[in-house]
Amino acid sequence: MDTAYVIDTLFTLFSITLIILMVPGFAMLEAGLVRTKNVSSVLTVNVMIYAVASMAFILVGFHLAFGDFQSTTMSQWAFFMFQMAFVGKAINIMSGGVGERARLLPLTLFTVIMGAFIYPTAVNISWGSDWIKDTVFDLSFVDLAGSTVIHSTGGWALLAAILIIGPRKGRYVGDQIRVIPASNIPLVVLGAMLLWIGWFGFNGGSVGSIATKEAADSVALTIFNTNAAGLAGAIAAGVLIYLRYKLFDITMILNGALGGLVAITAGPHLYTLYDSLAVGLIGGVLVVLAVPLFDRFRIDDPVGALSVHLVNGIWGTLAVGLFASNPAKGITFLNQLKGVGEIAVFVFTVSFVIIYAINKLVAFRASDDDQVQGLDVSECGLEAYPEFKRAI
Amino acid sequence: MDTAYVIDTLFTLFSITLIILMVPGFAMLEAGLVRTKNVSSVLTVNVMIYAVASMAFILVGFHLAFGDFQSTTMSQWAFFMFQMAFVGKAINIMSGGVGERARLLPLTLFTVIMGAFIYPTAVNISWGSDWIKDTVFDLSFVDLAGSTVIHSTGGWALLAAILIIGPRKGRYVGDQIRVIPASNIPLVVLGAMLLWIGWFGFNGGSVGSIATKEAADSVALTIFNTNAAGLAGAIAAGVLIYLRYKLFDITMILNGALGGLVAITAGPHLYTLYDSLAVGLIGGVLVVLAVPLFDRFRIDDPVGALSVHLVNGIWGTLAVGLFASNPAKGITFLNQLKGVGEIAVFVFTVSFVIIYAINKLVAFRASDDDQVQGLDVSECGLEAYPEFKRAI
Amino acid sequence: MDTAYVIDTLFTLFSITLIILMVPGFAMLEAGLVRTKNVSSVLTVNVMIYAVASMAFILVGFHLAFGDFQSTTMSQWAFFMFQMAFVGKAINIMSGGVGERARLLPLTLFTVIMGAFIYPTAVNISWGSDWIKDTVFDLSFVDLAGSTVIHSTGGWALLAAILIIGPRKGRYVGDQIRVIPASNIPLVVLGAMLLWIGWFGFNGGSVGSIATKEAADSVALTIFNTNAAGLAGAIAAGVLIYLRYKLFDITMILNGALGGLVAITAGPHLYTLYDSLAVGLIGGVLVVLAVPLFDRFRIDDPVGALSVHLVNGIWGTLAVGLFASNPAKGITFLNQLKGVGEIAVFVFTVSFVIIYAINKLVAFRASDDDQVQGLDVSECGLEAYPEFKRAI
């Protein structure tokens, strides 16, 4: 008994460090994808989110999500911190997609509300216990590590934000879509790989225990499948892009990998290896198809967050109903679809209202002049690379 | 019995990898904070310290620190390597603060002496056993993972070094303090986050065992509180700076986080959540207040190491006497103050004498010409970014 | 029994994450060592290798290497993924050394064949079981984590590739060897340190179990010795270079560390501390001596992969026969030499034939124009740092 408690605590602490490694992961990925004049701003947003969302969740959100729940199978502090490590991710997804034009103060206000209320409510009705879940409604769908609860939640909040804040100045001019190249590819690769590795803790840790033979198999299968879906997503995106352009586009390959990772997240413990490859492969294809689609609707998302997290969050949750359907256990396509839909309605509506309200109080969108100059100067007072001469 | 031995060995190996992740952490943080012309030099110092200090500790220092002590609760090799992983940190703190003007050869000589003698003596009288501790004096204060033994030790050595080596050329001109901006903000963020995550191994591993229910709770609480203090330090520094300048200064926010992490390090296993938030919050405030203070006294510290590590090393050690006072167990404010004072006198005095002596043998300070040109050329023979055109 | 199974699964998952951290490790190291115009290309190769080689090994190679072997001491999925994490490393070694002129499509084809067939065969006859090993030949030499199976294998494939592909345009002009400086030293340091830390998982995990007192001691000794050899290699290379040039060359210091790490990899569980220091020290010296030697033979290797991985892969395997000779257990210098030689003949021959054949199908070497312009534009369609003005 004590041995299981000890091992699960150690396993959860290990998972936590991998998840928190996703903080520099997201930060490097986004810093590499935006223009140099907005790099400090984007980095500050990432650090702010980790600090503010975690604090909001510690002080308010955790209780809202889990009520008086006490972990008895591992140290309560490990359980608490594991849950805390998740909250920033949903907001990171949202903040990345409004990069290069969203101001920091309103983003901070939204982070407080999302970390204290919106995300914890989504957790409660999906994974939690206690008052909302028992008295209001219980989403009985499978979402092991948050294809919906984390990734779609972040994606729906992002969609609401983009509709209110609008595209970056100069992105859509007349009929033209201006391509804005990533400024630092090594950071993109570093960030994506840190996210990939962090995912092992995210999904593996979500199994909840490693302390029996069956649990150990489940955790190892989960991590194996998670990685396999990432591999398949990368290869699918790479092949598609190569067939079309005869070029190897590393940002698209990495977004394909991340798409596969998002897609597998709802059910990696339920799949065979070949299921996982299929889920990840489709995830990579969806990213390649979705990126130009959002642009066609003038939904400007500099890091591809909607394609990676929202589209694949939905796909991954539905995939459980396709590949791991088990009506005897209540796992059906319809239940999965219902889960996707209910979180969509809840998160999009609440986020839209709150972002709209904050925007009335403090403008979310940086002025055109500040965007042209770069948010680093207007928001942070310091440039990311002050000594390097700019070519463009 | 065997199971506990195995689990504690695994736990310690896990902690070791996190601590050694602080080597690239410090390296990236410092490389990002200095000017491009000194980046290779700063990186070389960081790698040199890991190699030379670890080797000095393996061959000489460990025996001085721990005598004939044999770990019986985990593999002796894990215990040995865990202690080895600490030594470089104290010297990193010192080397960062004399960046951009200290030469590599004398720094290497000091690293040998600090790794072989100064740091191991500080460890012996604080944590060790054997001859010095038993026959000379035993500091009976609480310092779990080294707010004093690591952070103040590095800080006092740094203060001695700065007094001897002087400020960077051009930093203080007449009454003016010239601001020298950080050259690469993504590296600063990456480095600070790697340090933050490494701290979980530093403090968690210092509990010494995870192999019982009580030990597992203590480790998880330690890591939770460590992180919470970092969050509070970041938020405190961010709010203070924003209120004053209406700007989000990411370097100050990160230094606030690191200040909170240093401050919690003496007693994370003894605090409640709210104690930890208070300790970290005050840590973040102290960094914001201390940085301009050192500049007022013309103590030039390009990475803010004195504010982060010395000031908060002292604060953190005293905080144990305020928040976790327990006279029955000998934990009192006076004991803590005595520990701070004795290490201060010992480390500052010995470091001053040794740095002074080395400086007579091989000048510590790079010539004005070499500083203007940058230490990368004179010390390393290679530039960090030879292809990027410099704007300044 | 279950406890051992659980602990070894957790230990292997921990080792896996460290090994996969070597993917960004190699990527950052190589991205920092090449010129800015080839950085995206080099990064794309690294990500491609992880995706494609892992997939080839999952679908084909694993069965070839291990037949129907079923792990009973840990989760089969953990064992599978641990083996999968190795495959990319051998190919990374090869791809790094042909950087700045090898094209991506033929490299991808070779990656498929090496991940599915060449590397698994080398594994089978060295570590595996089943048909080839039982019916053809069984190399009875000691190579714990692959000084030969990984590092020499990658090195021999690289040598074959360089002989076919040739040096970078402009590297050897008449009698002159043109020095091409590394473009981003922070990335070099970050990458090398991630590799160093990843090595703990590589070598430690290769012990195969941590679940008894003896096994825990063996794992901890392995990791301690691995690190010690890296320290000794770094110091040896640094001292040699300093004595000759009075400069601290960080790229050579890091290559010395990596050389020591490669050299220790065959037998870290068998050495004393002083053996390990000797093995690593000689490894560092060999790197410093080998780098100019390969250049004298006009074998152009932009990242020093032959000096680090091939030379030290051979040295490290032979070192087991010198420092840990035990004829009663069949550990002799001659057996080690035989293992080195047989893998050399097998890998070099097969790689040469396959690279030669691929080269007839799709030219491996980028055109002179594409090399002058940089492979980022011709192969990837995106520059790594489009906003930074180039000085050279």
Strand partners, A365: A102
What does the pLDDT read at residue B156? Answer: 97
Which are the contacts of B107, defined by CB distance < 8 A and separation ≥ 6?
B45, B48, B95, B98, B364
Please give the average per-residue pLDDT across B280-288, as a whole number: 98
In a domain, C332, yes or no: yes
For chain B, positions 197-226, list CB contacts with chain A under 8 A. 197, 200-201, 204, 210-213, 215-217, 219-221, 223-224
Residue with tokens 């035993």: B138
Q: Give the model confidence (pLDDT) of C101-112 as tens digits.
A: 999 999 999 999
Q: Does A196 touch chain C (CB under 8 A)?
A: yes
Dist. CA C326–CA C334, nearest whole Å: 12
Burial class (CB in 10 A: 0-12, 13-18, 19+), B178: exposed
What does the pLDDT read at residue A132? Answer: 58
pLDDT at B135 over 60: no
Q: Does A81 touch chain C (CB under 8 A)?
A: no
In a domain, B232, yes or no: yes
Which are the contacts of B44, defined by CB distance < 8 A and separation ≥ 6?
B104, B379, B380, C248, C250, C253
Please give the average per-residue pLDDT across C217-223, as a whole number: 98
Dist. CA A67–CA A223, nearest whole Å: 29
In a domain, C389, yes or no: no
Strand partners, C172: C177
Phi, psi dihedral angles at A35 (to 5 degrees): -75, 155
A55 with B391: Cβ contact below 8 A: no
In a domain, C387, yes or no: no
B–C CB contacts, 8 A cutoff, strictly below? 172
pLDDT at C183 over 60: yes
Q: What is the mean pLDDT of chain B?
A: 95
In a domain, A307, yes or no: yes
Candidate from C190, C204, C221 with C-beta closest to B24: C190
Give the closest-approach CA distance of C372 to chain A in angstroms: 18
- Predicted complex ipTM: 0.97
What does the pLDDT read at residue C138? Answer: 58
Dist. CA B10–CA C155, nearest whole Å: 33
In a domain, C136, yes or no: yes
Q: Give the model confidence (pLDDT) of B166-210 as tens digits.
A: 999 999 998 899 999 999 999 999 999 999 999 999 999 999 999
Q: pLDDT band for C391, please (50, 70, 90 cuts).
A: confident
Q: Does B5 touch chain A (CB under 8 A)?
A: no
DSSP state of C327: G
DSSP state of A365: B
pLDDT at C1 over 60: no
What does the pLDDT read at residue B36? Answer: 97
User: What pTM was computed for the model?
Assistant: 0.97
C58 with A238: Cβ contact below 8 A: no
Low-confidence residues in chain A, pLDDT < 70: 1, 128-139, 392
Please give the average per-residue pLDDT across C60-86, as a whole number: 94
Please give the average per-residue pLDDT across C213-241, as a whole number: 98
Chains that touch C (3 or more CB pairs under 8 A): A, B
Q: What is the mean pLDDT of chain C?
A: 95
Q: Which residues of C touch A204 (CB under 8 A)?
A: 13
pLDDT at C137 over 70: no
Domain ranges, residue B73: 2-203+213-380
Please give the average per-residue pLDDT across B219-233, as a whole number: 98
Please give the average per-residue pLDDT across C116-135, as a whole number: 77
In a domain, A137, yes or no: yes
Q: Report the residue of chain B nearest C198, measured CA to CA.
A: B17
For chain C, positions 250-289, list CB contacts with chain B under 8 A. 250-251, 253-254, 257, 273
The encoded tokens of residue B41 equal 């030099």
Query: At A38, which amino acid appears?
Result: N
What does the pLDDT read at residue B390? Answer: 86
Please give the average per-residue pLDDT across C26-30, as a whole number: 98
Listed in sequence order, the DSSP H helices in chain C are 2-20, 22-33, 39-56, 62-66, 76-97, 104-113, 119-126, 130-131, 153-165, 185-206, 213-245, 250-264, 273-296, 305, 312-323, 333-361, 368-373, 375
Give the closest-approach CA distance of B17 to chain C in angstroms: 7
Q: Does A174 touch chain B (CB under 8 A)?
A: no
In a domain, C98, yes or no: yes
Q: pLDDT band for B127, please (50, 70, 90 cuts).
A: confident
pLDDT at B129 over 80: no
The residue ranges of DSSP E strands in chain B, in sequence order, are 172-173, 176-177
Nearest to A24 by CA among C211, B28, C358: B28
Q: Report the residue of chain B nearest A72, measured CA to CA.
A: B213
Q: Which 3 state secondary structure label does DSSP give B102?
A: strand
Residue with tokens 């997609």: A97
- CATH value at residue B107: 1.10.3430.10
Total domains in the fold of chain B: 1
pLDDT at B128 over 90: no
